[in-house]
A and B are shown apart, each in its own frame.
Chain A
Amino acid sequence: MDDPALIARVIGKDVAAFNALARLHQSKVRGLLLRLTRGNHATADDLAQETFLEAWRGIGNFRGDSAIATWLYRIAYSRFLMHARKRKPDEQLDDWQGEAASGEGATHVRIDLERAFAKLSAPESAALTMCFALGLSNTEAAEALDMPLGTLKSHVLRGREKLKTILGDQP
Protein backbone atom coordinates (compact mmCIF):
# COMPACT_ATOMS: atom_id res chain seq x y z
CA MET A 1 0.00 0.00 0.00
CA ASP A 2 1.28 3.46 -0.85
CA ASP A 3 2.26 5.87 1.83
CA PRO A 4 1.04 9.27 0.54
CA ALA A 5 3.34 11.19 2.89
CA LEU A 6 6.38 9.27 1.64
CA ILE A 7 5.39 9.79 -1.98
CA ALA A 8 4.78 13.51 -1.37
CA ARG A 9 8.30 13.78 0.05
CA VAL A 10 9.74 11.91 -2.95
CA ILE A 11 7.91 14.27 -5.32
CA GLY A 12 9.51 17.11 -3.37
CA LYS A 13 12.89 15.52 -4.31
CA ASP A 14 13.70 14.22 -0.82
CA VAL A 15 16.55 11.73 -1.39
CA ALA A 16 16.06 9.99 1.96
CA ALA A 17 12.39 9.41 1.16
CA PHE A 18 13.31 8.02 -2.25
CA ASN A 19 15.81 5.71 -0.59
CA ALA A 20 13.01 4.41 1.65
CA LEU A 21 10.74 3.98 -1.37
CA ALA A 22 13.45 2.13 -3.30
CA ARG A 23 14.03 -0.19 -0.34
CA LEU A 24 10.31 -0.98 -0.26
CA HIS A 25 10.03 -1.84 -3.95
CA GLN A 26 13.49 -2.93 -5.12
CA SER A 27 12.99 -6.62 -4.42
CA LYS A 28 9.88 -6.96 -6.58
CA VAL A 29 11.24 -4.79 -9.40
CA ARG A 30 14.47 -6.81 -9.45
CA GLY A 31 12.51 -10.06 -9.27
CA LEU A 32 10.38 -9.07 -12.25
CA LEU A 33 13.44 -8.06 -14.27
CA LEU A 34 15.32 -11.20 -13.28
CA ARG A 35 12.51 -13.27 -14.69
CA LEU A 36 12.32 -11.17 -17.87
CA THR A 37 16.09 -11.42 -18.40
CA ARG A 38 15.85 -15.17 -17.84
CA GLY A 39 17.97 -15.30 -14.74
CA ASN A 40 20.67 -12.83 -15.75
CA HIS A 41 21.36 -11.18 -12.39
CA ALA A 42 23.78 -8.52 -13.68
CA THR A 43 21.48 -7.31 -16.47
CA ALA A 44 18.42 -7.44 -14.23
CA ASP A 45 20.12 -5.32 -11.57
CA ASP A 46 21.45 -2.84 -14.14
CA LEU A 47 17.95 -2.44 -15.53
CA ALA A 48 16.54 -2.08 -12.02
CA GLN A 49 19.07 0.69 -11.31
CA GLU A 50 18.02 2.43 -14.53
CA THR A 51 14.37 1.98 -13.54
CA PHE A 52 14.80 3.70 -10.19
CA LEU A 53 17.00 6.44 -11.65
CA GLU A 54 14.35 7.15 -14.28
CA ALA A 55 11.71 7.13 -11.54
CA TRP A 56 13.74 9.65 -9.56
CA ARG A 57 14.11 11.94 -12.58
CA GLY A 58 10.47 11.60 -13.60
CA ILE A 59 8.78 11.51 -10.20
CA GLY A 60 7.23 14.89 -10.98
CA ASN A 61 5.19 13.16 -13.70
CA PHE A 62 3.70 10.65 -11.24
CA ARG A 63 0.13 11.82 -10.78
CA GLY A 64 -0.98 9.16 -8.33
CA ASP A 65 -3.60 7.68 -10.69
CA SER A 66 -2.09 4.27 -10.05
CA ALA A 67 -0.08 2.73 -7.23
CA ILE A 68 3.58 3.71 -7.20
CA ALA A 69 4.50 0.01 -7.62
CA THR A 70 2.49 -0.18 -10.86
CA TRP A 71 4.26 2.93 -12.11
CA LEU A 72 7.66 1.40 -11.26
CA TYR A 73 6.79 -1.89 -13.01
CA ARG A 74 5.77 0.10 -16.05
CA ILE A 75 9.15 1.85 -16.17
CA ALA A 76 10.94 -1.46 -15.54
CA TYR A 77 9.12 -3.20 -18.37
CA SER A 78 9.77 -0.38 -20.83
CA ARG A 79 13.45 -0.41 -19.80
CA PHE A 80 13.55 -4.14 -20.42
CA LEU A 81 11.97 -3.72 -23.87
CA MET A 82 14.54 -1.05 -24.78
CA HIS A 83 17.32 -3.37 -23.63
CA ALA A 84 15.85 -6.29 -25.60
CA ARG A 85 15.66 -4.20 -28.75
CA LYS A 86 19.31 -3.14 -28.42
CA ARG A 87 20.53 -6.67 -27.73
CA LYS A 88 22.52 -8.26 -30.53
CA PRO A 89 21.07 -11.46 -32.04
CA ASP A 90 23.95 -13.56 -30.70
CA GLU A 91 23.13 -12.37 -27.19
CA GLN A 92 19.68 -13.90 -27.45
CA LEU A 93 18.85 -15.73 -24.26
CA ASP A 94 17.11 -19.01 -24.84
CA ASP A 95 17.23 -20.57 -21.46
CA TRP A 96 17.29 -19.78 -17.77
CA GLN A 97 20.80 -18.53 -17.20
CA GLY A 98 21.97 -19.41 -13.78
CA GLU A 99 21.77 -21.86 -11.00
CA ALA A 100 22.82 -19.05 -8.67
CA ALA A 101 19.75 -17.19 -9.83
CA SER A 102 17.58 -19.63 -8.01
CA GLY A 103 18.63 -18.07 -4.69
CA GLU A 104 18.42 -19.38 -1.19
CA GLY A 105 15.83 -21.95 -0.37
CA ALA A 106 14.94 -22.51 -3.97
CA THR A 107 13.22 -25.78 -4.61
CA HIS A 108 13.51 -27.91 -7.71
CA VAL A 109 9.93 -26.97 -8.54
CA ARG A 110 10.86 -23.30 -8.39
CA ILE A 111 13.89 -23.81 -10.65
CA ASP A 112 11.73 -25.79 -13.09
CA LEU A 113 9.22 -22.95 -13.06
CA GLU A 114 11.93 -20.38 -13.85
CA ARG A 115 13.24 -22.56 -16.67
CA ALA A 116 9.71 -22.82 -18.01
CA PHE A 117 9.27 -19.04 -17.77
CA ALA A 118 12.39 -18.67 -19.91
CA LYS A 119 10.48 -20.34 -22.77
CA LEU A 120 7.71 -17.73 -22.71
CA SER A 121 7.64 -14.47 -24.61
CA ALA A 122 8.38 -11.29 -22.64
CA PRO A 123 4.72 -10.10 -22.57
CA GLU A 124 3.53 -13.53 -21.41
CA SER A 125 6.18 -13.74 -18.74
CA ALA A 126 5.55 -10.17 -17.53
CA ALA A 127 1.77 -10.59 -17.57
CA LEU A 128 1.87 -13.80 -15.53
CA THR A 129 4.41 -12.43 -13.06
CA MET A 130 2.45 -9.24 -12.50
CA CYS A 131 -0.94 -10.92 -12.18
CA PHE A 132 0.23 -13.73 -9.90
CA ALA A 133 3.53 -13.19 -8.08
CA LEU A 134 3.22 -9.41 -7.80
CA GLY A 135 -0.48 -9.49 -7.03
CA LEU A 136 -1.61 -6.83 -9.51
CA SER A 137 -5.16 -6.80 -10.79
CA ASN A 138 -5.64 -7.38 -14.52
CA THR A 139 -6.35 -3.67 -14.99
CA GLU A 140 -3.18 -2.65 -13.14
CA ALA A 141 -1.07 -5.17 -15.06
CA ALA A 142 -2.52 -3.98 -18.38
CA GLU A 143 -1.64 -0.43 -17.40
CA ALA A 144 1.88 -1.39 -16.35
CA LEU A 145 2.44 -3.26 -19.60
CA ASP A 146 0.78 -0.53 -21.65
CA MET A 147 -1.57 -2.94 -23.42
CA PRO A 148 -5.36 -3.30 -23.66
CA LEU A 149 -7.04 -5.46 -21.04
CA GLY A 150 -8.08 -8.05 -23.63
CA THR A 151 -4.49 -8.42 -24.84
CA LEU A 152 -3.27 -8.88 -21.30
CA LYS A 153 -5.83 -11.63 -20.66
CA SER A 154 -4.74 -13.38 -23.86
CA HIS A 155 -1.11 -13.27 -22.75
CA VAL A 156 -2.05 -14.67 -19.34
CA LEU A 157 -4.09 -17.50 -20.84
CA ARG A 158 -1.48 -18.37 -23.47
CA GLY A 159 1.35 -18.18 -20.94
CA ARG A 160 -0.49 -20.43 -18.50
CA GLU A 161 -1.15 -23.01 -21.19
CA LYS A 162 2.49 -22.99 -22.27
CA LEU A 163 3.68 -23.37 -18.67
CA LYS A 164 1.29 -26.28 -18.10
CA THR A 165 2.61 -28.01 -21.20
CA ILE A 166 6.27 -27.38 -20.38
CA LEU A 167 5.97 -28.37 -16.72
CA GLY A 168 3.76 -31.33 -17.61
CA ASP A 169 6.39 -32.63 -20.06
CA GLN A 170 9.11 -32.64 -17.44
CA PRO A 171 10.01 -35.93 -15.80
Chain B
Amino acid sequence: MIVNFFRFIDRAFAWIVQFLLVAILIAMVAVTFSQVILRNFFQSGIDWAEVGSRHAVLWIAFLGAMLATRARQHLNIDAMTRLLPRRARNALRVFLDAFAAAICLLLAKAALTFVMEEYAMGGDLFLGIKEWMVQAIIPFGFAMMALEYCIGVVLDILRIFYPEIQRRQPMAEGGR
Protein backbone atom coordinates (compact mmCIF):
# COMPACT_ATOMS: atom_id res chain seq x y z
CA MET B 1 0.00 0.00 0.00
CA ILE B 2 1.11 3.55 -0.73
CA VAL B 3 1.17 4.47 2.95
CA ASN B 4 3.65 1.69 3.63
CA PHE B 5 5.87 2.92 0.85
CA PHE B 6 5.90 6.42 2.34
CA ARG B 7 6.59 4.95 5.74
CA PHE B 8 9.62 3.13 4.35
CA ILE B 9 10.97 6.30 2.71
CA ASP B 10 10.34 8.23 5.90
CA ARG B 11 12.18 5.71 8.08
CA ALA B 12 15.09 5.40 5.69
CA PHE B 13 15.44 9.15 5.52
CA ALA B 14 15.25 9.59 9.28
CA TRP B 15 17.91 6.92 9.65
CA ILE B 16 20.23 8.75 7.23
CA VAL B 17 19.75 12.06 9.06
CA GLN B 18 20.40 10.38 12.38
CA PHE B 19 23.51 8.67 11.07
CA LEU B 20 24.90 11.96 9.70
CA LEU B 21 24.11 13.71 12.96
CA VAL B 22 25.93 11.13 15.08
CA ALA B 23 28.89 11.04 12.67
CA ILE B 24 29.28 14.83 12.70
CA LEU B 25 28.94 14.99 16.48
CA ILE B 26 31.57 12.30 17.03
CA ALA B 27 33.89 13.90 14.44
CA MET B 28 33.51 17.25 16.19
CA VAL B 29 34.43 15.70 19.54
CA ALA B 30 37.41 13.91 18.00
CA VAL B 31 38.81 16.98 16.24
CA THR B 32 38.31 19.33 19.21
CA PHE B 33 39.76 16.81 21.65
CA SER B 34 42.81 16.16 19.45
CA GLN B 35 43.29 19.91 19.27
CA VAL B 36 43.55 20.10 23.08
CA ILE B 37 46.00 17.17 23.22
CA LEU B 38 48.13 18.47 20.33
CA ARG B 39 48.37 21.99 21.76
CA ASN B 40 49.15 21.02 25.33
CA PHE B 41 51.51 18.11 24.75
CA PHE B 42 52.99 18.57 21.29
CA GLN B 43 52.87 22.36 20.79
CA SER B 44 51.09 21.90 17.49
CA GLY B 45 47.48 21.92 16.33
CA ILE B 46 44.94 21.48 13.57
CA ASP B 47 44.54 24.86 11.90
CA TRP B 48 41.03 24.14 10.57
CA ALA B 49 39.72 22.64 13.82
CA GLU B 50 37.86 25.74 14.97
CA VAL B 51 36.33 26.66 11.59
CA GLY B 52 35.40 23.03 11.14
CA SER B 53 33.59 22.64 14.43
CA ARG B 54 31.79 25.98 14.11
CA HIS B 55 30.33 24.82 10.81
CA ALA B 56 29.63 21.38 12.22
CA VAL B 57 27.35 23.15 14.72
CA LEU B 58 25.44 24.66 11.79
CA TRP B 59 24.85 21.18 10.37
CA ILE B 60 23.92 19.78 13.77
CA ALA B 61 21.43 22.62 14.21
CA PHE B 62 19.65 21.80 10.94
CA LEU B 63 19.86 18.01 11.13
CA GLY B 64 18.64 18.17 14.74
CA ALA B 65 15.83 20.51 13.72
CA MET B 66 14.82 18.08 10.97
CA LEU B 67 14.54 15.28 13.51
CA ALA B 68 12.70 17.61 15.89
CA THR B 69 10.23 18.39 13.09
CA ARG B 70 9.67 14.70 12.41
CA ALA B 71 9.06 14.02 16.11
CA ARG B 72 7.07 17.29 16.44
CA GLN B 73 9.31 18.22 19.35
CA HIS B 74 10.02 21.82 18.48
CA LEU B 75 9.83 24.31 21.31
CA ASN B 76 6.46 26.03 21.24
CA ILE B 77 3.89 27.69 23.44
CA ASP B 78 1.50 24.82 23.95
CA ALA B 79 -0.66 26.04 26.83
CA MET B 80 -3.60 26.62 24.45
CA THR B 81 -3.47 23.26 22.68
CA ARG B 82 -3.43 21.43 26.01
CA LEU B 83 -6.77 22.93 26.92
CA LEU B 84 -8.54 22.05 23.65
CA PRO B 85 -10.62 18.89 23.18
CA ARG B 86 -9.13 16.21 20.94
CA ARG B 87 -11.03 16.96 17.73
CA ALA B 88 -10.38 20.68 17.88
CA ARG B 89 -6.73 19.98 18.59
CA ASN B 90 -6.47 17.77 15.50
CA ALA B 91 -8.08 20.46 13.33
CA LEU B 92 -5.70 23.07 14.74
CA ARG B 93 -2.76 20.79 14.04
CA VAL B 94 -3.61 20.57 10.33
CA PHE B 95 -3.76 24.34 10.16
CA LEU B 96 -0.52 24.92 12.09
CA ASP B 97 1.36 22.32 10.04
CA ALA B 98 0.24 24.01 6.82
CA PHE B 99 1.35 27.36 8.21
CA ALA B 100 4.74 25.98 9.29
CA ALA B 101 5.19 24.37 5.86
CA ALA B 102 4.57 27.71 4.14
CA ILE B 103 7.08 29.61 6.31
CA CYS B 104 9.70 26.86 5.95
CA LEU B 105 9.27 27.00 2.19
CA LEU B 106 9.77 30.79 2.16
CA LEU B 107 12.88 30.40 4.35
CA ALA B 108 14.17 27.67 2.01
CA LYS B 109 13.69 30.01 -0.96
CA ALA B 110 15.52 32.85 0.80
CA ALA B 111 18.30 30.44 1.75
CA LEU B 112 18.62 29.21 -1.81
CA THR B 113 19.15 32.79 -3.03
CA PHE B 114 21.80 33.21 -0.33
CA VAL B 115 23.64 30.02 -1.25
CA MET B 116 23.54 30.85 -4.99
CA GLU B 117 25.20 34.19 -4.27
CA GLU B 118 27.84 32.50 -2.14
CA TYR B 119 28.37 29.95 -4.90
CA ALA B 120 29.04 32.78 -7.36
CA MET B 121 31.63 34.23 -4.97
CA GLY B 122 33.14 30.80 -4.31
CA GLY B 123 34.97 31.31 -0.99
CA ASP B 124 37.10 28.50 0.42
CA LEU B 125 36.46 27.31 3.96
CA PHE B 126 38.88 24.55 4.89
CA LEU B 127 40.45 21.46 3.33
CA GLY B 128 39.18 22.49 -0.10
CA ILE B 129 35.57 22.59 1.10
CA LYS B 130 33.79 25.58 -0.40
CA GLU B 131 31.63 27.84 1.74
CA TRP B 132 28.48 27.20 -0.29
CA MET B 133 28.76 23.44 0.25
CA VAL B 134 28.48 23.86 4.00
CA GLN B 135 25.78 26.51 3.69
CA ALA B 136 23.71 24.25 1.43
CA ILE B 137 22.34 22.56 4.57
CA ILE B 138 20.26 25.72 5.26
CA PRO B 139 17.97 25.57 2.18
CA PHE B 140 18.02 21.77 2.24
CA GLY B 141 17.05 21.68 5.93
CA PHE B 142 14.20 24.14 5.53
CA ALA B 143 12.95 22.37 2.38
CA MET B 144 12.92 19.03 4.21
CA MET B 145 11.10 20.56 7.17
CA ALA B 146 8.51 22.05 4.79
CA LEU B 147 8.09 18.60 3.21
CA GLU B 148 7.70 16.98 6.62
CA TYR B 149 4.99 19.45 7.59
CA CYS B 150 3.24 18.90 4.22
CA ILE B 151 3.24 15.14 4.79
CA GLY B 152 1.78 15.82 8.24
CA VAL B 153 -1.06 17.84 6.67
CA VAL B 154 -1.81 15.17 4.06
CA LEU B 155 -1.79 12.34 6.60
CA ASP B 156 -3.96 14.30 9.02
CA ILE B 157 -6.55 15.00 6.31
CA LEU B 158 -6.44 11.38 5.07
CA ARG B 159 -7.01 10.25 8.64
CA ILE B 160 -10.38 12.00 8.67
CA PHE B 161 -11.57 9.61 5.93
CA TYR B 162 -9.48 6.56 6.80
CA PRO B 163 -9.17 6.45 10.57
CA GLU B 164 -7.18 3.20 10.28
CA ILE B 165 -4.03 5.10 9.22
CA GLN B 166 -1.94 5.08 12.35
CA ARG B 167 -0.18 8.02 13.82
CA ARG B 168 3.54 7.54 13.53
CA GLN B 169 5.25 6.55 16.74
CA PRO B 170 7.89 9.03 17.79
CA MET B 171 11.31 7.57 17.12
CA ALA B 172 12.32 7.58 20.75
CA GLU B 173 11.26 9.35 23.86
CA GLY B 174 12.98 12.71 24.07
CA GLY B 175 13.42 15.15 26.91
CA ARG B 176 10.20 16.96 26.30
Q: Are A and B associated in one complex?
A: no
